[in-house]
Amino acid sequence: MDHITFLVAVVIVTALAFDFTNGFHDTANAMATSIATGALRPRTAVLISGVLNVVGAFLSTEVAKTISGGIVDDTLVTPGMIFAGLVGAILWNLTTWLMGLPSSSSHALFGGLIGAVWVGAGQHGVHFDKVVEKVLVPAIASPIVAGVAALIATYLAYRLTARARQKSVTKGFRLGQIASASLVSLAHGTNDAQKTMGVITLTLISAGALGHDAGPPVWVIASAGLAIGLGTYLGGWRIIRTMGKGLTEIQSPQGFAAETASTTVILTSAHLGFALSTTQVASGSILGAGLGRRLAEVRWGVAGRMVIAWLVTLPAAALVGGLAASVVVNGGTFGTVVIAVLALAVTGFIVLASRRNPVHAHNVNDTHEVSVRADEPSRVGTAA
């Protein structure tokens, strides 16, 4: 424990804070369609998702190893650089949450770390070949694969049930959605919770508390799982609205097809150690499910804004992470305090802005739009 300095402790707490934002930012990946179709009540959905995220965190550590020893050179990384990278990731997560944009928490984390390490240790501190192999290629392929799989599954679901009673079909697929959404939550825990495990493990390696190429200790796995589970339970209602209502009007067969496709892609990638974006996978699945139902309306304007967010997430987080790293590396403890205070101030502003037009469990299905302006009377509830 002698290696756990004050800065290392601050980095670990900041990593868990990112994990928490990752949880409520990505709740929609698993539960948006089930909430939209009425298969699960909103609060029940986020409770199930939170518990299964914790369970999923213990199932694999391959993605964690990719983060801790893959995309950056752990011999050149310092806790200060990791702190700066996490600040970039957290601020981008909160900004896109405020706008209801389901951007990638994973790419925000990768971008923040890459920018911070590049500024702090130089270009050779980033393994760009691994970034391409483990991050960029899955980012392009995974939503396409998930979308095609969901499209085919949706088409088959409607063809096979074309002569069945509509009421029976809806009821059956809603029951199926409970299982498929639960599997997405489990898969999310095996992928996204591990990213924070990898960051904390990288921090401990850089501080000399763990050897190079070490895996995450049990306490790291448990704390990361609990942080993302708690964030998931609070429910990222703004993004749930966009995912469940914004892209297309989802029916239960489409929801089941989208969730099943997402689960398959995420679990396969977690097994292979690909740190993909579960947000992109889930969004691709929902788009595919929308295209798979005849006469379904797909809101391409919303989809376009999401794609733009995907494209700018990594460089935007890298820019913030790099700027933060320049202050932390050159300013030492004082620089770290300055960045921490600025990050807290921006976080407070974003949270206050979200309360002008809150989205919560009681109004999440009322409309498909997420607005920051208070253009309608808000109901009493907890904004998240």
Nearest CA among 367, 169, 362 for reference residue 252: 169
Nearest CA among 122, 110, 125 for reference residue 313: 110
Two tokens, residue 216: 């995450």
CB within 8 A of 337, min separation 6: which ones? Answer: none
The per-residue pLDDT for 296 is: 67
Taking only the tens place, the pLDDT of each residue in 270-310 is 777 676 788 888 888 988 988 888 766 778 888 888 888 88
C-alpha torsion angle, residues 49, 216, 63, 260 (rounded to 10): -20
Full-model pTM: 0.84
The per-residue pLDDT for 116 is: 94
pLDDT < 50: residue spans in the chain: 1, 376-384
Taking only the tens place, the pLDDT of each residue in 214-271 is 778 889 989 988 999 998 888 688 888 888 777 777 888 888 998 899 888 888 877 7
